[in-house]
Amino acid sequence: MGKTIAEKVLSSHSELDCSAGEIVIASVDFCMSQDGTSTMMIRELESLGFKSPKTTNGMTMVIDHNSPCPSVDVAKIHTRMRDFARANSIPLFDVGEGICHQLVPESGKVLPGDLVVGADSHTCTYGALNACSTGLGSTDVAAAAFTGKLWFKVPDTYSVIVNGKMPRRVGAKDLMLSVIGSVTADGATYKSVEFSGEAIDASSMDGRFTMANMAVEMGAKFCPFAFDSKTASWLSARGLGKGANVSCDPDAICEKKYDFDASDIVPKVAKPHAVDNVVDASTLKGTKIQQAFLGTCTNGRYSDLEAAARILKGKHINAGVRLIVAPASRAVLVEAIDGGVYAALLKAGATFVAPGCGPCVGTHAGIPGDGENVISTANRNFKGRMGNNKDVGIYLASPETVAASSLTGEITDPREVKE
Amino acid sequence: MRLSGIVHRFSPNDDINTDYIISGRYKFKIDDMNELAKHVMEDISPEFSGKVRNGDIIVAGRNFGCGSSREQAPRALKAAGVSAVIAKSYARIFYRSCFNVGLPLVECDTDWIKDGDIITVDLDTGEVADARTGQKTKAKPIPKTMQILLQDGGLIPHLRKHGDFALR
């Protein structure tokens, strides 16, 4: 019987021939934590007498959620992370370097076929690189770092097939919002979601990162994409090896199949306060916005900034809108400066904040006012998510839709804006 | 093990995410779970942290604990005195984290349980009983792996006790 990518990766890491539903103890290749989750992990590791990580390729910690530090309380947390990293020779990405889910792949810590865990729910992002990666609590990640392994339930797989060609100004974010709208916020709980089809073959690596990133918003555990020439080029451009690329067998058992036609996808928006509350952007015409946010582990990459700049270049955002941009990493920011994207956005009225999570989690760098609406490229729009729960509405959309909306001051289908 | 406590229900009933359980406004700057406990559920029920008592039980609908991986969510609930959660289903990361830190989760239909009821849960037999109405139901059995973690007091005590994973 054939196997899914999840079954193959968990089989190779547990040295068992395992199938969906089984519980296995598997070796873990890499683990990570960020400044919102590290202190609990550190406490558990210290209680166990931790010396160094037993995971195959080690671990890292990233200061990205509250970066640069906004308060004395957070400074204590950051200092604790730096002290622990120094004492145990653990690589740490400090203030200004960027978001964990951009830095971990950029630094070559995840390769195809790897099994990776992180104390951040969007760790599923690395699925774009043909890896099985998933978010866990701090205690699970501490256990993985301490023992080099962890228990896993081998997940069933949902196959999502996307054929056809994506229309102009419609991208991976619109496709993923469509999928989440159909599957719902818990429709893929504990599943591995595998995308395939013409539109997936045609999608960029950045698009795949966007999609894998949001898999957890429908409850998924893994979201491994197939290895192809784009994966190989992405890795070789960064001087990285090919890893052990893994494919889904044609006769593997997938619990459910979903079919989407890419040519039917239009710009989408997830309305407050749920990620599966998805509608066409055009239906929200007239909904005023006071803040627009471009960034995050979902859409803070160079191609996202570039897509927004194409719409905003030579124009100026609406007088009633604040546009905040947080590049996903320093490398992304440098590329944006070199390519003219930074200047285009700045001249259009954008405010850049440091590479990192920016205002996504509501601790600093753009907390909305009472009663305001925000259009954002992030992955979550829960009530209070951006730090204010007083009638604040967060609308999730693509970089193109966020750029178009910041021009008009209301939610706008980007196909209506001329370049 | 039997638990008994006063029921707290919330609106929304489904998809109560970990941001609602403990907001990023607090969890990123406060490292003391007893302090965080003063803010649990604040965005959907500002009065909850003032009225929750030791042993109380949270009852909800589908997909409880979805969203962020923040382990402050189960830890702060525990610090607030919550002895168990009963819901129709749970999100994956939250589910693991609860058993890792010793907070039992029970899975069953919950539409019949009312806010303020006194509910008794038998974690061994899965029986969930309402003292007010006398109504009873049988919850889904807690998987063996989770039972072992619960008996050992969580994942880290489990590793300390066995020196390795001993979950099968």
Contacts of A203 (CB under 8 A, 6+ apart): A172, A211
CA-CA distance, A247 to A99, in Å (whole number)? 28
State the smallest CA–CA distance between residue B25 and chain A in angstroms. 6
Question: B145: nearest CA in chain A?
Answer: A23
- Model confidence at B154: pLDDT above 90: yes
State the smallest CA–CA distance between residue B125 and chain A in angstroms. 23
- For residue A223, which phi and psi values (nearest 5 degrees)? -145, 65
Q: Which of residues 10-39 of B touch A (CB under 8 A)?
A: 15, 17, 19-20, 23-25, 27-31
For A5-25+98-260, CATH number? 3.30.499.10
Asked if residue A68 has a cis previous peptide bond (ω within 30° of 0), the answer is yes
pLDDT tens digits for range A140-191: 999 999 999 999 999 999 999 999 999 999 999 999 999 999 999 999 999 9
State the smallest CA–CA distance between residue B130 and chain A in angstroms. 28
Topology of domain B2-140 in CATH is Aconitase; domain 4 (3.20.19)
pLDDT score recorded for residue A178: 98
Chain A residues close to B17, C-beta within 8 Å:
380, 382
- Model confidence at B168: pLDDT above 80: no
Question: Within chain A, which residue ranges are assigned CATH 3.30.499.10?
Answer: 5-25+98-260, 272-416
Chain A residues close to B92, C-beta within 8 Å:
189-190, 219, 221
pLDDT band at A418 (very low <50, low <70, confident <90, very high): confident
pLDDT tens digits for range A91-115: 999 999 999 999 999 999 999 999 9
Q: Is A65 left (phi over 0), alpha (psi -120 to 50) or beta?
A: alpha
> What is the ipTM metric for this complex?
0.96
Residue ranges of the domains in chain B? 2-140
pLDDT score recorded for residue A366: 96
Chain A residues close to B74, C-beta within 8 Å:
137
pLDDT tens digits for range B32-88: 999 999 999 999 999 999 999 999 999 999 999 999 999 999 999 999 999 999 999
Topology of domain A272-416 in CATH is Aconitase; domain 3 (3.30.499)
**Do A292 and A376 form a contact (C-beta atoms < 8 A)?**
yes
The tokens describing A106, both together, are 């950029």
pLDDT band at A1 (very low <50, low <70, confident <90, very high): confident
Q: Is A282 left (phi over 0), alpha (psi -120 to 50) or beta?
A: alpha
